[in-house]
Chain A
Amino acid sequence: MSGPIIEAQDLRFTYTNAEGVTPIVLDGVSLDIEEGSFVAVLGHNGSGKSTLAKHLNAILLPTGGKVYVAGMDTADQQKLLSIRSTVGMVFQNPDNQIVANVVEEDVAFAPENLGVPSEEIRRRVDEALAMVGMSQYATHAPHLLSGGQKQRVAIAGVIAMRPRCVVLDEPTAMLDPIGRKEVLGTIARLNREYGTTVVLITHHMDEAAQADRLVVMSKGHVIADGPPRTVFQDVEGLKAVGLTVPETTQLLWQLRQAGCDVPLDALSDEECAQVLSDFLTA
């Protein structure tokens, strides 16, 4: 890790809706995202997490405070292209993100627009498809792919821009369990093998558990920030803001409530089984 790639300083966002009401969506969010890290942002609907995501590559601009991407102020119009090629964004619905009739043409769309020379585009497209495990579908039609495959093509399209950071806004919300697994595996590989900074916006606890760092949002504020196993120990605090914890943590928490001496920080099936085994044989 080598310093923050994204810095949000006292970020505020508000807008006026059709009824003339002005809700405060982000209320003083300060957050540094370290280069090379895997950060999950968890929150219920309306917590401000998607609005935060849209500030990370200047889709939205702060109404107060600042966001810096690799030192560039996102409010600086001159830097827009540079900001957007530093931080790429993947959205919820794969069908809304695919523009071409052939997978490899879709992946080539962004580098083409950035004016990358064609041999370089070829190289980047092949590499991006390999990274998401979709090389064998390069000449297929995107509309015939499964949801998980389409979402991986969308991720490849972002990777082909060679961003240093990828922000994914609930990328698995519309996928089935197989598709979710494919996409999560791809995201984890992107971070661990290729060193890309990943910001994953989600409301799935099990997805958040895979990140190095978990940021919890509620009502426009960051209310918890730390390693998942630490954050999830605050079972009641998370429940109070409409979130649940993984079932493994729930079980251990309920056992503690019943007077059992078990630790709360076992997240995976394996860790939880180990803790229970130790407890029962002690």
Chain B
Amino acid sequence: MHPILETRKLCHVYSQGTPFEQTALHDVDFTAYAGEYLGIIGHTGSGKSTLIQHLNGLLKPTSGQVLFDGTDIWSDPAVTRQTRFQVGLVFQYPEYQLFEETVYKDISFGPKNMKLDEGEIDRRVRQAAEFVGLTEAQLAKSPFELSGGQKRRVAIAGVIAMEPRVLILDEPTAGLDPVGVDAILGNIRDYHQATGATIIMVSHSMEEVARTVERLVVVNDAVIPFSGTPREVFRHGAELETMGLGVPQMTRVFLRLRQLGVDIDPSVYTVEQARDAILAAKGVG
């Protein structure tokens, strides 16, 4: 696997040299591999937002390095600028950042800044809109006439239209209802499959990451205590609990089932896995 983004001994200290000095990241070695769907979990204040803001050069390390495709993104201003186009970042509640008169103009803002020609911009806007399920008629509307879930899709399309090789989303489903959550997660999955781009999704829902990502990185107290496949990470149930993260509900039920004396493998984390495990244990599967 080829590492597309890496941090080496990354440290970030806010308000250094003042009484409010706070270490948000301490000696963090993080890797995202090209083409993977990666989840980052951590509670508020764990350092996860600080970490992702380093990945496209929004924050500069206090010490340590951030590498994109093996090159230090701060080695040259041209590299820093290029990284910002190649690593797209969708913030939390991105719908609050919409500002243009029409949906079309809002989505085209990023590609325009990349100095692409009109035809290319048009192609990208339409393709990005299609990925997130926006209709032709909606492109002509003011973004402020849309529902909350639709606005969020416009904001995501605006980043997708830059065709970044890495797409980072900070809690893209926060505050949405189940239909909205499924729609957004479906859009991201489609984009991942169609383009092969690397996806990094920040979440604090264990159930959500359990059913979407291939690999998980846990951030806690300014460090990465562990990472791995969801199954590997959810084995650290007790530690995750003390970090205020916990494990998915199905894992909790199965852990309890074992305590009740049932001999069953507790490393399940989705409803489907739980069903299959129960059916197998009963000899019906």
Determine if chain A interacts with chain B.
yes
Chain A, 251-282, CB within 8 A of any chain B CB: 251, 254-255, 258-260, 269-270, 272-274, 276-277, 279-281
- Picked from A246, A250, A269, the residue with its CB within 8 Å of the CB of B256 is A269
Q: Which A residues are CB-close (under 8 A) to B249?
A: 246-248, 269
Which of B6-14, B126-134, B144-152, B156-164 lines the interface with chain A? B144-152
Asked if residues A273 and B281 are in contact (CB atoms below 8 Å), the reply is no
A157 at the interface (CB under 8 A from B): no
Chain A, 4-32, CB within 8 A of any chain B CB: 18
Q: Which B residues are CB-close (under 8 A) to A92?
A: 175
CA gap between A223 and B174 in the complex, in Å: 26
Q: Which A residues are CB-close (under 8 A) to B179?
A: 44-45, 242
Asked if residues A248 and B44 are in contact (CB atoms below 8 Å), the reply is no
A146 at the interface (CB under 8 A from B): yes
CA gap between A24 and B159 in the complex, in Å: 35
CA gap between A279 and B277 in the complex, in Å: 13
Q: Can you show 18 pairs from A to B with CB atoms below 8 A apart?
A: A44-B177, A45-B149, A45-B177, A176-B43, A176-B204, A242-B179, A243-B177, A243-B178, A247-B248, A247-B250, A248-B253, A251-B250, A251-B275, A251-B278, A255-B275, A259-B284, A260-B278, A281-B262
Asked if residues B260 and A251 are in contact (CB atoms below 8 Å), the reply is no
Q: A177-B245, A178-B43 are in contact. Are A276 and B177 (CB under 8 A)?
A: no
Asked if residues A251 and B274 are in contact (CB atoms below 8 Å), the reply is yes
Q: How far is the CB of B207 from chain A (nearest CB, A)?
A: 7
Q: Which A residues are CB-close (under 8 A) to B274?
A: 251
A163 at the interface (CB under 8 A from B): no
Q: Which B residues are CB-close (under 8 A) to A258?
A: 275, 279, 284
Asked if residues B177 and A242 are in contact (CB atoms below 8 Å), the reply is yes
CA gap between A97 and B72 in the complex, in Å: 44
CA gap between A92 and B257 in the complex, in Å: 36
B271 at the interface (CB under 8 A from A): yes
CA gap between A178 and B245 in the complex, in Å: 8
Q: Please, which residue of chain B has its CB at the minimum distance from the CB of A205? A: B178
- Count of chain A to chain B residue pairs whose CB atoms are closer than 8 Å in the complex: 101
Asked if residues A173 and B279 are in contact (CB atoms below 8 Å), the reply is no
**Residue count of chain B within 8 Å CB distance of chain A:** 42
Q: Which B residues are CB-close (under 8 A) to A255?
A: 275, 278-279
Listed in ascending order, the chain B residues whose CB lies under 8 Å from chain A are 43-45, 145, 147-149, 174-180, 204-205, 207, 244-246, 248-250, 252-254, 256-257, 259-262, 264, 271-272, 274-275, 278-279, 281-282, 284
Asked if residues B44 and A276 are in contact (CB atoms below 8 Å), the reply is no
Asked if residues A277 and B271 are in contact (CB atoms below 8 Å), the reply is no
Query: Would you give the 0/1 interface string for A228-244, flagging 1 where the beta carbon is closer than 8 Å to chain B?
Result: 00000000000000111
Starting from the known contacts A176-B43, A177-B246, A255-B275, 18 additional A-B residue pairs (CB-CB under 8 Å) come to: A18-B145, A44-B177, A44-B178, A146-B45, A147-B44, A173-B175, A177-B245, A179-B44, A247-B249, A247-B271, A251-B250, A251-B275, A260-B282, A273-B253, A277-B260, A277-B261, A280-B278, A280-B282
Q: Which A residues are CB-close (under 8 A) to B253?
A: 248, 251, 269, 272-273, 276
CA gap between A276 and B281 in the complex, in Å: 11
Q: A146-B44, A277-B257, A280-B278 are in contact. Are A45 and B180 (CB under 8 A)?
A: yes
- Picked from B207, B244, B256, the residue with its CB within 8 Å of the CB of A270 is B256
Looking at B207, B248, B261, B271, which has the most chain A CB atoms within 10 Å of its CB?
A: B271
Asked if residues A254 and B178 are in contact (CB atoms below 8 Å), the reply is no
A46 at the interface (CB under 8 A from B): yes
- Picked from B175, B245, B278, the residue with its CB within 8 Å of the CB of A174 is B175
The 9 closest A-B pairs by CB, nearest first: A273-B256, A242-B179, A203-B177, A277-B260, A173-B175, A44-B177, A176-B44, A247-B249, A254-B275
Asked if residues B282 and A45 are in contact (CB atoms below 8 Å), the reply is no
Q: How far is the CB of A111 from chain B (nearest CB, A)?
A: 31
